[in-house]
Amino acid sequence: MTFAEKLAEAVRRNESLVCVGLDPDPDLMAVRDVVAFNRAIIEATADLVCAYKPNYAFYEALGTPGIVALEKTRALIPAHLPVILDAKRGDIGNTSLFSARAAFDTWSFDALTVNPYLGRDALDPFLGYRDRGVLVLCHTSNPGSRDFQDLQVTGADGVSRPLYEVVALAAREWNAYGNVGLVVGATYPAQLARLRALCPEMTFLVPGVGAQGGELEAVVRHGLNVQGAGLILNSSRQVLYASRSSHDFAEAARAAALRLRDAINALRPTPSSR
Protein backbone atom coordinates (compact mmCIF):
# COMPACT_ATOMS: atom_id res chain seq x y z
CA MET A 1 0.00 0.00 0.00
CA THR A 2 1.01 3.58 -0.54
CA PHE A 3 0.86 5.99 2.39
CA ALA A 4 -2.34 7.51 0.99
CA GLU A 5 -3.98 4.10 0.63
CA LYS A 6 -2.93 2.97 4.10
CA LEU A 7 -4.17 6.22 5.61
CA ALA A 8 -7.53 6.01 3.83
CA GLU A 9 -8.00 2.43 5.00
CA ALA A 10 -7.11 3.34 8.61
CA VAL A 11 -9.55 6.27 8.53
CA ARG A 12 -12.28 3.95 7.27
CA ARG A 13 -11.45 1.05 9.55
CA ASN A 14 -11.27 3.06 12.79
CA GLU A 15 -13.67 5.80 11.68
CA SER A 16 -11.05 8.26 12.85
CA LEU A 17 -9.01 11.30 11.85
CA VAL A 18 -7.03 11.22 15.10
CA CYS A 19 -3.25 10.85 15.10
CA VAL A 20 -1.48 10.29 18.41
CA GLY A 21 1.93 11.89 18.69
CA LEU A 22 4.29 9.50 20.46
CA ASP A 23 6.47 12.15 22.15
CA PRO A 24 7.88 10.65 25.36
CA ASP A 25 8.83 13.36 27.87
CA PRO A 26 10.67 11.80 30.86
CA ASP A 27 9.36 14.58 33.11
CA LEU A 28 5.75 13.74 32.29
CA MET A 29 5.66 9.99 31.62
CA ALA A 30 3.82 7.82 34.12
CA VAL A 31 6.48 5.12 33.73
CA ARG A 32 10.15 5.70 33.03
CA ASP A 33 10.72 3.11 30.32
CA VAL A 34 9.98 4.70 26.93
CA VAL A 35 9.17 1.48 25.12
CA ALA A 36 6.89 0.26 27.91
CA PHE A 37 5.14 3.63 27.96
CA ASN A 38 4.66 3.71 24.18
CA ARG A 39 3.52 0.09 24.11
CA ALA A 40 0.78 0.82 26.63
CA ILE A 41 -0.36 3.90 24.70
CA ILE A 42 -0.41 2.03 21.38
CA GLU A 43 -2.30 -0.94 22.79
CA ALA A 44 -4.86 1.39 24.38
CA THR A 45 -5.50 3.50 21.27
CA ALA A 46 -4.76 1.42 18.16
CA ASP A 47 -8.45 0.96 17.36
CA LEU A 48 -9.16 4.71 17.72
CA VAL A 49 -6.57 6.37 15.48
CA CYS A 50 -5.73 6.81 11.82
CA ALA A 51 -1.96 7.18 12.42
CA TYR A 52 0.83 7.60 14.94
CA LYS A 53 3.49 10.30 14.81
CA PRO A 54 6.71 9.92 16.83
CA ASN A 55 8.71 13.16 17.02
CA TYR A 56 12.38 12.37 16.45
CA ALA A 57 13.67 15.01 18.86
CA PHE A 58 12.18 13.28 21.91
CA TYR A 59 14.13 10.12 21.10
CA GLU A 60 17.30 11.83 19.94
CA ALA A 61 17.51 13.68 23.28
CA LEU A 62 17.88 10.33 25.04
CA GLY A 63 20.98 9.38 23.02
CA THR A 64 21.52 5.87 21.72
CA PRO A 65 18.88 4.34 24.05
CA GLY A 66 16.36 6.78 22.62
CA ILE A 67 17.09 5.76 19.03
CA VAL A 68 16.74 2.13 20.03
CA ALA A 69 13.43 3.00 21.70
CA LEU A 70 12.26 4.66 18.48
CA GLU A 71 13.08 1.54 16.48
CA LYS A 72 11.27 -0.67 18.98
CA THR A 73 8.30 1.67 19.04
CA ARG A 74 8.06 1.54 15.26
CA ALA A 75 7.92 -2.24 15.45
CA LEU A 76 5.12 -2.16 18.02
CA ILE A 77 2.65 -0.26 15.83
CA PRO A 78 0.21 -2.52 13.96
CA ALA A 79 1.14 -2.86 10.30
CA HIS A 80 -2.20 -1.54 9.03
CA LEU A 81 -1.69 1.86 10.70
CA PRO A 82 0.52 4.49 9.02
CA VAL A 83 3.38 5.93 11.03
CA ILE A 84 4.68 9.45 10.40
CA LEU A 85 8.20 10.36 11.49
CA ASP A 86 8.13 13.99 12.55
CA ALA A 87 11.71 15.03 11.86
CA LYS A 88 11.30 18.09 9.59
CA ARG A 89 14.09 17.07 7.24
CA GLY A 90 15.26 19.02 4.19
CA ASP A 91 18.89 19.80 3.38
CA ILE A 92 21.13 19.85 0.32
CA GLY A 93 20.70 16.90 -2.00
CA ASN A 94 23.13 14.34 -0.64
CA THR A 95 22.09 14.97 2.96
CA SER A 96 18.43 14.64 2.04
CA LEU A 97 19.19 11.46 0.14
CA PHE A 98 20.52 9.84 3.30
CA SER A 99 17.73 11.32 5.41
CA ALA A 100 15.23 9.70 3.07
CA ARG A 101 17.03 6.37 3.24
CA ALA A 102 17.03 6.52 7.05
CA ALA A 103 13.33 7.29 7.33
CA PHE A 104 12.00 5.10 4.56
CA ASP A 105 14.49 2.26 4.05
CA THR A 106 16.16 1.78 7.43
CA TRP A 107 13.18 2.51 9.68
CA SER A 108 10.31 1.89 7.24
CA PHE A 109 8.23 4.90 8.22
CA ASP A 110 5.23 5.54 6.03
CA ALA A 111 5.62 9.33 5.93
CA LEU A 112 8.00 12.08 6.96
CA THR A 113 7.68 15.79 7.70
CA VAL A 114 10.01 17.98 5.64
CA ASN A 115 11.04 21.63 5.53
CA PRO A 116 10.74 23.32 2.10
CA TYR A 117 13.06 26.26 2.86
CA LEU A 118 15.91 24.96 0.67
CA GLY A 119 13.65 24.42 -2.34
CA ARG A 120 12.63 21.61 -4.64
CA ASP A 121 16.02 19.95 -5.11
CA ALA A 122 16.34 19.45 -1.34
CA LEU A 123 13.05 17.53 -1.33
CA ASP A 124 13.54 15.48 -4.49
CA PRO A 125 15.11 12.52 -2.63
CA PHE A 126 11.96 12.26 -0.48
CA LEU A 127 9.52 12.81 -3.34
CA GLY A 128 11.13 9.95 -5.23
CA TYR A 129 9.66 7.48 -2.73
CA ARG A 130 6.30 7.39 -4.48
CA ASP A 131 4.67 5.09 -1.95
CA ARG A 132 5.64 7.22 1.08
CA GLY A 133 4.10 10.41 2.36
CA VAL A 134 6.02 13.70 2.24
CA LEU A 135 4.38 16.26 4.54
CA VAL A 136 5.63 19.76 3.81
CA LEU A 137 5.73 22.40 6.53
CA CYS A 138 3.42 25.15 5.32
CA HIS A 139 1.79 27.15 8.13
CA THR A 140 2.83 25.90 11.54
CA SER A 141 0.98 26.18 14.86
CA ASN A 142 3.54 28.15 16.87
CA PRO A 143 3.08 31.91 17.48
CA GLY A 144 6.33 32.76 15.70
CA SER A 145 5.13 31.18 12.46
CA ARG A 146 3.98 34.62 11.33
CA ASP A 147 7.54 35.96 11.43
CA PHE A 148 8.11 34.48 7.98
CA GLN A 149 5.14 32.40 6.85
CA ASP A 150 2.73 35.33 6.53
CA LEU A 151 5.15 37.63 4.71
CA GLN A 152 3.85 38.86 1.37
CA VAL A 153 6.04 37.66 -1.49
CA THR A 154 5.73 37.53 -5.25
CA GLY A 155 5.41 34.01 -6.57
CA ALA A 156 6.47 32.56 -9.90
CA ASP A 157 3.12 33.61 -11.34
CA GLY A 158 3.82 37.26 -10.49
CA VAL A 159 1.06 37.40 -7.88
CA SER A 160 1.75 38.76 -4.41
CA ARG A 161 0.57 36.40 -1.68
CA PRO A 162 1.67 35.14 1.76
CA LEU A 163 4.71 32.89 1.74
CA TYR A 164 2.72 29.96 3.12
CA GLU A 165 0.49 30.11 0.04
CA VAL A 166 3.53 30.07 -2.24
CA VAL A 167 4.73 26.96 -0.41
CA ALA A 168 1.32 25.32 -0.80
CA LEU A 169 1.17 26.00 -4.51
CA ALA A 170 4.68 24.60 -4.96
CA ALA A 171 3.77 21.49 -2.97
CA ARG A 172 0.69 21.06 -5.14
CA GLU A 173 2.94 20.98 -8.19
CA TRP A 174 5.29 18.50 -6.49
CA ASN A 175 2.35 16.16 -5.84
CA ALA A 176 2.66 14.31 -9.13
CA TYR A 177 2.44 10.91 -7.41
CA GLY A 178 -0.20 11.84 -4.85
CA ASN A 179 2.24 11.48 -1.97
CA VAL A 180 2.64 15.12 -0.88
CA GLY A 181 0.69 16.74 1.93
CA LEU A 182 0.92 19.90 4.03
CA VAL A 183 1.56 20.56 7.72
CA VAL A 184 -0.94 23.22 8.80
CA GLY A 185 -1.34 24.31 12.42
CA ALA A 186 -4.74 24.05 14.10
CA THR A 187 -4.19 27.44 15.72
CA TYR A 188 -4.70 29.28 12.41
CA PRO A 189 -8.09 28.15 11.03
CA ALA A 190 -8.41 31.05 8.56
CA GLN A 191 -5.13 30.05 6.92
CA LEU A 192 -6.27 26.43 6.98
CA ALA A 193 -9.42 27.40 5.08
CA ARG A 194 -7.38 29.26 2.49
CA LEU A 195 -5.06 26.29 2.03
CA ARG A 196 -7.96 23.88 1.59
CA ALA A 197 -9.28 26.15 -1.15
CA LEU A 198 -5.87 26.11 -2.88
CA CYS A 199 -5.21 22.39 -2.35
CA PRO A 200 -8.61 20.66 -2.27
CA GLU A 201 -7.28 17.12 -2.69
CA MET A 202 -4.17 17.16 -0.50
CA THR A 203 -3.86 15.65 2.96
CA PHE A 204 -3.18 18.06 5.83
CA LEU A 205 -1.34 17.01 8.97
CA VAL A 206 -2.74 19.34 11.62
CA PRO A 207 -0.81 19.69 14.89
CA GLY A 208 -1.93 21.98 17.68
CA VAL A 209 -5.24 20.29 18.53
CA GLY A 210 -5.69 20.28 22.29
CA ALA A 211 -2.68 21.46 24.29
CA GLN A 212 -1.82 24.27 21.85
CA GLY A 213 -5.38 25.57 21.79
CA GLY A 214 -6.52 24.79 18.26
CA GLU A 215 -10.27 25.31 17.86
CA LEU A 216 -11.53 21.89 16.84
CA GLU A 217 -14.81 22.93 15.23
CA ALA A 218 -13.17 25.56 13.03
CA VAL A 219 -10.37 23.19 12.05
CA VAL A 220 -12.74 20.42 11.01
CA ARG A 221 -15.13 22.78 9.22
CA HIS A 222 -12.39 24.51 7.23
CA GLY A 223 -10.04 21.56 6.76
CA LEU A 224 -12.16 18.65 5.56
CA ASN A 225 -12.08 17.82 1.88
CA VAL A 226 -15.24 17.08 -0.09
CA GLN A 227 -15.04 13.42 0.95
CA GLY A 228 -15.21 14.40 4.64
CA ALA A 229 -11.58 13.45 5.24
CA GLY A 230 -8.17 14.82 4.18
CA LEU A 231 -7.13 15.67 7.75
CA ILE A 232 -4.73 13.99 10.16
CA LEU A 233 -5.48 15.71 13.48
CA ASN A 234 -2.57 15.19 15.81
CA SER A 235 -2.79 15.22 19.58
CA SER A 236 0.22 14.42 21.74
CA ARG A 237 0.19 15.75 25.30
CA GLN A 238 -3.59 15.74 25.61
CA VAL A 239 -3.59 11.97 25.09
CA LEU A 240 -0.21 10.83 26.41
CA TYR A 241 -0.46 12.66 29.70
CA ALA A 242 -4.18 12.48 30.39
CA SER A 243 -3.06 10.81 33.60
CA ARG A 244 0.33 10.89 35.30
CA SER A 245 -0.43 7.78 37.35
CA SER A 246 1.25 4.50 36.48
CA HIS A 247 -1.99 2.72 37.42
CA ASP A 248 -4.31 4.27 34.84
CA PHE A 249 -2.33 6.32 32.31
CA ALA A 250 -3.14 3.96 29.43
CA GLU A 251 -6.86 3.91 30.28
CA ALA A 252 -6.85 7.73 30.55
CA ALA A 253 -5.06 7.99 27.19
CA ARG A 254 -7.71 5.79 25.62
CA ALA A 255 -10.50 7.89 27.08
CA ALA A 256 -8.88 11.11 25.79
CA ALA A 257 -8.36 9.67 22.31
CA LEU A 258 -11.94 8.39 22.24
CA ARG A 259 -13.34 11.78 23.26
CA LEU A 260 -11.31 13.49 20.55
CA ARG A 261 -12.30 10.98 17.88
CA ASP A 262 -15.97 11.27 18.75
CA ALA A 263 -15.83 15.07 18.90
CA ILE A 264 -14.29 15.16 15.42
CA ASN A 265 -16.76 12.65 14.00
CA ALA A 266 -19.66 14.67 15.35
CA LEU A 267 -18.47 17.51 13.10
CA ARG A 268 -17.95 15.36 10.00
CA PRO A 269 -20.59 14.43 7.43
CA THR A 270 -22.33 11.15 8.19
CA PRO A 271 -20.71 8.10 6.53
CA SER A 272 -23.64 7.71 4.12
CA SER A 273 -23.18 11.27 2.83
CA ARG A 274 -19.42 11.14 2.28
Domain membership of residue 65 (yes or no) is: yes
Give the pLDDT confidence of 117-174 residue by residue, as tens digits: 999 999 999 999 999 999 999 999 899 998 999 999 987 788 899 999 999 999 999 9
Give the pLDDT confidence of 5-39 residue by residue, as tens digits: 999 999 999 999 999 999 999 999 999 999 999 99
CA distance 129 to 111: 10
pLDDT the model gives residue 158: 87
Global pTM reads 0.96
Where residue 7 sits, what CATH number does that domain have? Answer: 3.20.20.70
> What residues are paired with 231 via a beta bridge?
204
Residue 109 neighbours by CB under 8 Å, 6+ apart = 74, 83, 84, 85, 103, 132
Q: Which carries the bigger pLDDT value, residue 155 or residue 224?
A: 224
Residue 71 neighbours by CB under 8 Å, 6+ apart = 107
Whether residue 88 lies in the annotated active site: yes
User: For the chain, how many structural domains are there in total?
Assistant: 1
**Among residues 6, 53, 72, 88, which one is catalytic?**
88
pLDDT the model gives residue 211: 54
For 210, the domain range is: 3-269
| Three-state DSSP string of 115-151 | CCCCCHHHHHHHHCCCCCEEEEEEECCCHHHHHCCCC
Domain membership of residue 274 (yes or no) is: no
Total number of residues shown for the chain: 274
Domain membership of residue 136 (yes or no) is: yes
